[in-house]
Amino acid sequence: MLFDRTAGPAIAVAVTFVWLGMVLAIAFVEAPLKFRAPNVTLPIGLGIGRLVFRALNTVEVGFALVLLAIVATGTTPARSAVAFSVAVAALAVQLIAVRPRLTRRSEQVLAGLDGPRSRGHYAYVGLEVVKVAALVVTGTLLLAA
C-alpha cells in the first residue's frame, strides 16, 4: 500500500493547503504585482508569467497526483474526494483549454504584434477562484474527518 491509513490523511491535508497557498501567492499576488514593478514592460512581464505559471502548473499536477493516490486508497471521505475533483477539473480546463490560448496570445505580443486584449485571462482567473474554493473545501473537510 502506498500510504497507510494514518499517513494518507495527514499528507492529503498538507498537500492541499500547500497547493492552496501556492495558487493564492502566485495567481493573486505575484501575477498582478509584477506588472507594477519599475521597468517591467509587457513583454518582460509576459515572459516571467509564462515561466512562473508553467512551473506552478507542473507542481499542481504533481500535487493532484499525490492526492489522487491518497483518494484511491479509500482513506478519503467522499465529500473531500468530490471537492478535490472540482479542483482537478478546474486545473484540467486551465491546462487543456485556456493556457494554450493564452500562450498563443503571449507569443503574438512577444513577437511585436498588436491585437485585441485577450479575454482568456478572465477565464483563467475564474478557474483559479473555483480551484481556490475547491481546495479550501477539500482541506477543511479533510481536517474535519
Neighbours of 10 (CB within 10 A): 12
pTM: 0.91
Three cell numbers at 100?
494554450
Which string of DSSP letters, residue by residue, matches 40-56? --HHHHHHHHHHHHHHH
Task: Decide: residue 21, CB within 10 A, 0-12 exposed, 13-18 middle, 19+ buried.
Answer: exposed
Of the chain, the percentage scoring pLDDT greater than 70 comes to: 96
Dump pLDDT digits (tens) for 118-130: 888 999 999 999 9
Residue 12 has what pLDDT? 93
Q: What is the mean pLDDT of the chain?
A: 91
Residue 119 has what pLDDT? 87
Residue 5 has what pLDDT? 64
Three cell numbers at 64?
493532484
Q: What is the largest CA-CA distance in the chain?
A: 55
Spell out the domain ranges in the chain: 7-144
Dump pLDDT digits (tens) for 6-58: 788 899 999 999 999 999 999 999 999 998 999 999 889 999 999 999 999 99
Crossing angle for the helix pair 99-110 and 120-144, to the nearest 10 degrees: 140
